[in-house]
Amino acid sequence: MKFSVIVDALPHLLGAAVTTIWISLLGVLLGQVIGVLVCVARQSGNRGLDMAGGVYVSFFRGVPLLIQLLLIYYMLPLVGVDVPPLVAAISALSLASGAYVSEIYRGSLNAVPHGQSEAALALGFSSATIWTRILLPQAFRFSVPALVNELILLLKASSLISVVGVAELTRTSQTISASNFRPLEIYLAAGVIYLAINSALALFGTLVERRLQQG
């Protein structure tokens, strides 16, 4: 074990960690948008929308993320759509996250008393207002722990995007270890960085949950 190897590689690993973080955050943010839309579609009462949302969720929860990433990266060019590695990576993470987020919100909506939406309808509120002012805000509060856990899982899963050449933390670790032939030190440092990021996210989620509980 040579700690000097870790010290030399640390600036490159930390830079790659920043890439990992922003790609994961962007994937989660886009996944939030997708997840909310799919959740609303499945709760809309429209059979067609419900079935379409169900197929989407089943596919992206049932197929490994690596396969989804490779399908996006290799199949779209066959139909004339040139997909850069970074776009393919963010798209795969977003679509996969959206499937899980939609189910998180669906579960959280069950914790919202059904009488609230009925009362809002009786008072003349529109469906859009009921969703944006009553249902989704409460569902978000109930789902904070699960959403933070989804972010942590997605950040760890982002290591898979290294297979398409995106220079995130895992890919950078592979490149460095291949050049200095010291994989133990490099991968140990990468693991510690992943642990530090995820621990910070877990702490942030706990603080947000406490703040929401306090009103």
Pick 143 or 95 by higher pLDDT: 95
pLDDT of residue 15: 95
- pLDDT bin (cut points 50, 70, 90) of residue 140 is confident
Q: CB-based contacts of 51: which residues, under 8 Å, 6+ apart?
A: none
Express each pLDDT in 169-191 by its tens digit.
999 999 999 998 889 999 999 99
pLDDT of residue 206: 86
- pLDDT bin (cut points 50, 70, 90) of residue 117 is confident
Asked if 38 and 53 count as a contact pair (C-beta separation under 8 A), the reply is yes
| Amino acid at position 188, single letter | L
Query: Distances from the Cα of 48 to the Cαs of 55, 98, 116, 158, in angstroms?
Result: 11, 19, 26, 32
pLDDT of residue 212: 73
pLDDT at 22 over 80: yes
CA atoms within 13 A on the CB side of 212: 15
